Structure 1
Amino acid sequence: MLRPARIALFTAASVALTGSLAACGAGSGSSAGGSSDAFSAANCQGGTLRVLDSAKNSKGFDPAVLYTSGGGAIPRLLFRTLTTRQSVPGVDGTKVVPDLATDTGKPSENATVWTYHLKAGLKFADGTPITSADVKYGVERSFSPQLAGGPPYLRDWLVGGADYQGPYGSGNTDLASIATPDASTIVFHLRKSEGDFPYLAAETQFAPVPKAKDTGKEYNADPVSSGPYTIAGFTKGRELDLVRNPYWSRSTDQQRLACPDRIDVSLGLSPAVINQRLSSSVGQDANAITTDTSLDAPTLARVSADPALKKRVVTGKFPQIYYLAFNLKKAPFDNQLVREALSYAVDRTALVNAEGGTQLAVPSTTFTPESLTAAHQDYDDFPAGATGNPEKAKQLLAQAGHPNGITVPLAYDTDDTSTGAPAATALQQAFAKAGITLQLQPLSDADFSGTVNTPATQPALTLTSWGADWPSGGPFLTPIFDGRQIVTGGGNFNLAQYNDPAVNAQIDKINQITDYAAAQKQWAALDAQLGKLALTVPLYEEATSVLTGSHVKNAYLDQWRGWYDIATVSVK
């Protein structure tokens, strides 16, 4: 998943400083709350939580087109799914737990069939019971071309998913690979082994949708809630008002505390205004948070110097790596020695400084970031030191037949403050010391993905990023290194266009493992194996620092999304 970049205050602050979006690198998250009263989950009800966001959220809230992993905190208030993330700080926040289902799924021996049973007593906000047919229909409608935008995995994983077009067309609109033998049982038949299926089942595509209430494209404005809140009012780009769902109960939902009576969301605010209001915490802003705006370097420095404000800063990391992507189909990067030369020439200190300093970015030499704890393995196959090794880079270029250096273009997204002009300029200056001339190729956000993610137009070298849809090595490594994931028509993320049948087979073998810890060890080993080939140049991870209002309690960053969960926050 491509995580949104930091929203600029000085030209940087974000969901991804966040968001998607951040696991706490050291395995812990800091809690925030300005009140002297201790937080009690048993006695946290009441009040109105204010949310100050910069995003306009013009797409609305159709579960078919959202990401719960990186698409923000609001959907989890409205939609329950078969599974969900465990709502605790630290490493345990990466665990998948039951939500609508009684467990995280029963797999067949080869993990190609997954069976779920729904809890008793589940109801929509209109009081009607939630059945397995509602979950099936929710998944099916996510295949409709008119509701595109959600995670792509189901189309690839489910039997018949590649050709299925959703329930709205004529003829057979049923996806037979999803079976509902009774009102509380749902069975998914996959075309290949997928040990990570319980993590995918936490995405909003698995939220139940009552067929009789489905309004197609218009469903995004007023979806039927299965979570603790329902929409009382929504003006796209301006505001969202949530009130309690009277049919939701903690007795069937152990992961959402749903403390506030109301949640009022203001949309389209400037990041500078958001952080100023959170910092001041005057009036209603004392009960405010933000779900998409982090602190930039100057503001973070000021806040860190104020003990009262510092207590209200929540910090952590989202498992996302910023890296250089080589196109192995284009010279000179078809030569591994040249790729290694660029790996040695990188000045990661300059890049971290370009991001705003060590509080906002951490250098990385591995593709799987340190914050993806279970799937991470330390390695540094091309040690450049803190500031680069230009002499080693020159030696490798000479061995590759380029004694006078090389000139190559570098594509980057001008609208992405994390992989934009400052980082590109830092790379240009460092590489010049090694005889590598970068011709900067700025692309607008509108042009970047279309150009870079289409093999026919992909540049030789790109500055980009990748984040995990859930805390596992599978969604981190597979789209980038599985040769079968190369998409010629666009939407391709295997920018190396690397296709090794042996690696593809390794990926299939790991996907059969349903033991999470065992699978992550194998993903970590595969990352270290691929690292030796210099298919990418890992650069850095971002860190998140975000303010809360002075009356907000129990705000900690989970290690799944890299943000705090509104469903666990309380106010006075």
Structure 2
Amino acid sequence: MARKLIISTTALAAAAALALSGCSSGGGGGAPAAEGQKGGTLKVLANGDVDHLDPQLTAYVPVNGVIRTVSRSILSYKSSNDEKTRIELAGDLATEVPEASDGGKTYTIKLRDGVTWDAPGGSRPIVAEDVARGIKRICNPKISAALGGYFTGLIEGMDTFCAGFAKVKPEIAPMKDYIEKNRISGIETPDEKTVVFKLTEPASDFTSMLSLPTANPAPIEVLDYLPDSPEYRNNFISSGPYKISAYKPDASMDLVRNPSWKADSDPLRKAYVDEIKMTMGLEDDAAMQQLQAGSADLLFDIQPSPANIQQLKTANDQKLTTMANGGVDQFMWINTKTSNNGGALQKPEVREALQYAIDKPAVVQVMGGPDIATVTNGIFGPGINGYEDFAPYGDKSGKADPEKAKALLKQAGVTNLKLKLPYRNLGAQPDIAQTVQASLEKAGITVELFPVPPTDYYANFMTNPSNAKDGKWDVALVGWSPDWVGGAARSVFQPQFTFNGTPQSYNYVDYNNDEANALAAKALAASTPEEAGKIWHQVDETVMKDSPIVSIVARKKANYHSERVQNFEIYALAQNGDWTNVWLKK
């Protein structure tokens, strides 16, 4: 998906178990020292700017690292290099992770003492109404939150609130007036320390959604600015351990200590460094050279290239880490709406033949080898609660079986199968497309490759439903990264593999399976993560029986840091080291 791919490279997006593999994190990996060293300036290098600085609006995975420094979340995660620890929800503004009541439809949040805004008039407590205000801002008519759809249909009365908000003129005064005069019926604030969320249906992953910046509280002052406008950014009110001291779009961002932040109110951030300076506009290789030379420390939206990774691995550089991000990138959608080839792709045996025809290990090698890619066989990537290493077709290795594919095509009565495969002329995508083409041709399938500009691939080509219906493509390579971590199966399944009559952008063929939908509802109502995970795996199995996609590869996220960075531990939502918990070797 466009958004998710941007997030994960980008993502994003997004996100999952983040299992640490490859090298351990030198200069700070492994067990942290008993006590970190305070002081110094952390230097971060970036290629681009933040997508949004407004927490409600951001949907770009690297930006979660920035938001972590300046904005407190309701729930969050402890930074850790242990794959299980870092996806365990923890209280941030909330005193603890709440348990559902009312049959899984009510969650009560208790805010901890000592959490404050660095407000213009002086330090001020964060209260329940700030939480409600943050949720209200999700569907503002000027620029709505990319991840807001998860909340809109789930919190009782929020769809009604948002429908009314959509009619408001997208200007400061009327938007402020609407937010202040209207409530969401499913959000109650009985006192300044208590927020009660009432849901339309049980949702075991609602607490995971509360870890997203989308759900962060908002101070009253932000209503005096258009969302994420230059004025908003220049007057950003911090609740985290750092605040913005200077910001030049597409050039730099400087963070300094927030004097109103209290260390004893924050169980997740130690705030060792005094300042954080992010410099933008760096190319990947130049940024890596600076980190290796020690003139900079961390990367924002840049990661080592496959060539960098091979060099660092050869040198046994312990400052390199790789991690699964929960996404599947690549997988191949099969167009069941086209009448091309006499509607052959609508036949289950033909789609099953494609499952056996793809040489997945070959794609892994093209993407840089097993250091940064692993074979997948289902809709969920490693780390999603519900992921299991299973093989509905062939074996877990993902090796092609062209003879099996030919036999299935013969069984279906299909000969001379010719497929149109679009690809993005970007990075390794042409090589991946050619590798898939070669696999399919070994099974007797002719593949016509044609390039689509990278900026148009998702935005205009894949998400245009007429292109599927009119047979402009037969199979297409895409990727997806979940929107949150751990219990994130909904954010993979719902946008891509459900259809209720209203087209979804990234369900390219309006795929739907009532049995899978029923299982998903059961998983969301599960009382424990273990129970939910087992049911989500059944969802995976059920979808894959239909073969709407061929799952091929999960890409790992590579991270690198300078020699002086200590305690480099992963913050799950950012898929990178936690800026608020590293310290600098002096």
TM-score under structure 2 normalisation? 0.87
2:301 to 280, 292, 295: 292
Output the aligned Cα RMSD: 2.6
Tell me which residue corresponds to 1:366. Answer: 378
Task: Return 405-414 or 46-55, whichever deviates more.
Answer: 405-414
3-state SS of 1:208 partner? coil
Tell me which residue corresponds to 1:469. Answer: 483
Q: Give me the whole-angstrom Cα distance separating, in 1, the residues matched to 2:475 and 2:530.
A: 34
Tell me which residue corresponds to 2:86. Answer: 93
3-state SS of 2:355 partner? helix
Tell me which residue corresponds to 1:116. Answer: 109
3-state SS of 1:100 partner? coil
Distance change (3 Å), C-alpha of 1:276 and 1:436: same
1:102 to 83, 95, 101: 95
Deviation, 1:381, is 1.9
3-state SS of 2:116 partner? coil
Deviation, 1:158, is 1.7
2:74 to 63, 78, 82: 82
Matched, 1:325 2:333: yes
Matched, 1:478 2:494: yes
Letter in 2 for 1:280: A
Deviation, 1:69, is 5.5
3-state SS of 1:20 partner? coil
Aligned length: 550
Tell me which residue corresponds to 2:434. Answer: 425
Check whether the contact 1:4–1:20 (CA below 8 A) recurs between aligned residues: no
3-state SS of 2:124 partner? coil
Deviation, 1:449, is 2.2
Task: Return 223-232 or 393-402, whichever deviates more.
Answer: 393-402
3-state SS of 1:341 partner? helix
Q: Give me the whole-angstrom Cα distance separating, in 2, the residues matched to 1:408 and 1:221.
A: 52
Q: Give me the whole-angstrom Cα distance separating, in 1, the residues matched to 2:89 and 2:424.
A: 34
Tell me which residue corresponds to 1:334. Answer: 346
Distance change (3 Å), C-alpha of 1:456 and 1:47: same
Tell me which residue corresponds to 2:576. Answer: 563
Deviation, 1:342, is 0.8
Task: Return 453-462 or 536-545, whichever deviates more.
Answer: 453-462
Distance change (3 Å), C-alpha of 1:504 and 1:408: same
Task: Return 293-302 or 553-562, whichever deviates more.
Answer: 553-562
Check whether the contact 2:516–2:542 (CA below 8 A) recurs between aligned residues: no
Q: Give me the whole-angstrom Cα distance separating, in 2, the residues matched to 1:269 and 1:21.
A: 25
2:467 to 433, 454, 457: 457
Deviation, 1:39, is 4.6
Q: Give me the whole-angstrom Cα distance separating, in 2, the residues matched to 1:140 and 1:541.
A: 35
Post-superposition CA distance 1:225-245 (Å, at most 9, x none): 111111001111000000111
Tell me which residue corresponds to 1:54. Answer: 47
Deviation, 1:134, is 0.9
Tell me which residue corresponds to 2:152. Answer: 155
Q: Give me the whole-angstrom Cα distance separating, in 2, the residues matched to 1:5 and 1:359.
A: 21
Distance change (3 Å), C-alpha of 1:379 and 1:256: same
Check whether the contact 2:6–2:60 (CA below 8 A) recurs between aligned residues: no
Post-superposition CA distance 1:170-190 (Å, at most 9, x none): 665432322211111111222
Q: Give me the whole-angstrom Cα distance separating, in 2, the residues matched to 1:514 and 1:29.
A: 36
Tell me which residue corresponds to 2:169. Answer: none
Check whether the contact 1:316–1:557 (CA below 8 A) recurs between aligned residues: no
Distance change (3 Å), C-alpha of 1:378 and 1:386: closer
Deviation, 1:467, is 1.4
Check whether the contact 1:48–1:260 (CA below 8 A) recurs between aligned residues: yes
Tell me which residue corresponds to 1:141. Answer: 137
3-state SS of 1:367 partner? coil
Letter in 2 for 1:159: E
Post-superposition CA distance 1:480-530 (Å, at most 9, x none): 22233x642xx5222342222232222112111242222112112221232
Deviation, 1:105, is 2.1
Letter in 2 for 1:236: P
Post-superposition CA distance 1:86-115 (Å, at most 9, x none): 222221111111110112124223222221
Matched, 1:357 2:357: no
Matched, 1:129 2:113: no
Check whether the contact 2:45–2:287 (CA below 8 A) recurs between aligned residues: yes
Deviation, 1:390, is 1.3
Tell me which residue corresponds to 1:10. Answer: none
Deviation, 1:386, is 5.1
Deviation, 1:70, is 6.0
Check whether the contact 1:483–1:501 (CA below 8 A) recurs between aligned residues: no
Check whether the contact 2:566–2:582 (CA below 8 A) recurs between aligned residues: yes
Q: Give me the whole-angstrom Cα distance separating, in 2, the residues matched to 1:102 and 1:114.
A: 13
Distance change (3 Å), C-alpha of 1:78 and 1:514: farther
Matched, 1:382 2:393: yes
Task: Return 73-82 or 145-154, whichever deviates more.
Answer: 145-154
- In the alignment, structure 2 segments of 5+ residues that lack a partner are 166-173
Deviation, 1:434, is 1.2
Listed as ranges, the matches of 1:169-188 within 5 Å are 173-188=182-197
Identical residues among aligned pairs (%): 25
Letter in 2 for 1:314: T
Check whether the contact 1:84–1:99 (CA below 8 A) recurs between aligned residues: yes
Deviation, 1:206, is 2.0
Matched, 1:276 2:285: no
Post-superposition CA distance 1:364-395 (Å, at most 9, x none): 222222333x4222221221765411111111
Task: Return 238-247 or 504-513, whichever deviates more.
Answer: 504-513
Check whether the contact 2:421–2:475 (CA below 8 A) recurs between aligned residues: yes
Tell me which residue corresponds to 1:499. Answer: 512
Post-superposition CA distance 1:195-239 (Å, at most 9, x none): 111100011122221123431232244321111111001111000
Check whether the contact 1:368–1:527 (CA below 8 A) recurs between aligned residues: yes
1:247 to 247, 260, 278: 260
Deviation, 1:21, is 4.8
Distance change (3 Å), C-alpha of 1:5 and 1:346: farther
Q: Give me the whole-angstrom Cα distance separating, in 1, the residues matched to 2:221 and 2:49.
A: 29
Q: Give me the whole-angstrom Cα distance separating, in 2, the residues matched to 1:457 and 1:528.
A: 28
Deviation, 1:421, is 1.4
Matched, 1:222 2:235: yes
Tell me which residue corresponds to 1:32. Answer: 26
Q: Give me the whole-angstrom Cα distance separating, in 1, the residues matched to 2:235 and 2:458.
A: 31
- In the alignment, structure 1 segments of 5+ residues that lack a partner are 8-13
Listed as ranges, the matches of 1:436-455 within 5 Å are 436-450=445-459, 451-455=461-465
Check whether the contact 1:56–1:267 (CA below 8 A) recurs between aligned residues: yes
3-state SS of 1:147 partner? coil
Post-superposition CA distance 1:100-145 (Å, at most 9, x none): 0112124223222221111112111231111111111111111113
Letter in 2 for 1:164: F
Task: Return 164-173 or 434-443, whichever deviates more.
Answer: 164-173
Tell me which residue corresponds to 1:3. Answer: 4
